[in-house]
Amino acid sequence: MIALRALTFALAGLGGLVPTHPALAQSADTLPGAKLYQAKCGTCHSLDANRIGPAHRGVFGRAAGSAAGYSYSPMLKASGIVWNAASLDQWLQGPQKMVKGSKMYFVVPGASDRAAIITYLKATSGK
């Protein structure tokens, strides 16, 4: 009886050490696109903070140029683009071809890399 109580206590203690993440964030972190995102986009972007580029959480499904507090190029802000799988794929093949005057020049040449990164952006946007 005492041993059982001690065990219950120990397990409860362990439970407190396991970090609690929202289920979505946890599954997005395990996607192949998570590593690619860090490696390729992480120099300029993060999910939750505006850096050289705008914050990305929620970007999938939102209008281009609408991250709060980020100073976009006028051309991207006025583009009328809504970010979805097709528009993101086109953007990552040549942002300045898609939107003349955009401030982003980085290109992802590999179709499967683009697809993985887009899946990651979708998951971290809760879509």
What residues line the site for ligand HEC (CB under 6 A)?
40-41, 43-45, 52-54, 59, 64-65, 67, 72-73, 76, 83, 88, 91-92, 102-104, 106, 108, 117
Residues whose CB falls within 8 Å of the CB of residue 101, separated by 6 or more in sequence, listed in order? 73, 74, 75, 76
Question: Which among 118, 127, 126, 123 is positioned nearest to 37, based on CA atoms?
Answer: 118
Unique residue bearing structure tokens 């300029």: 44
In the bound state with ligand HEC, the residue whose beta carbon lies nearer, of 18 and 68, is 68
Closest to ligand HEC by CB, 28 vs 83, is 83
CB closer to ligand HEC, 47 vs 83: 83
* Close Cβ partners of 58 (under 8 Å, ≥ 6 residues apart): 125, 126
CB of 124 to ligand HEC, least distance (A): 11
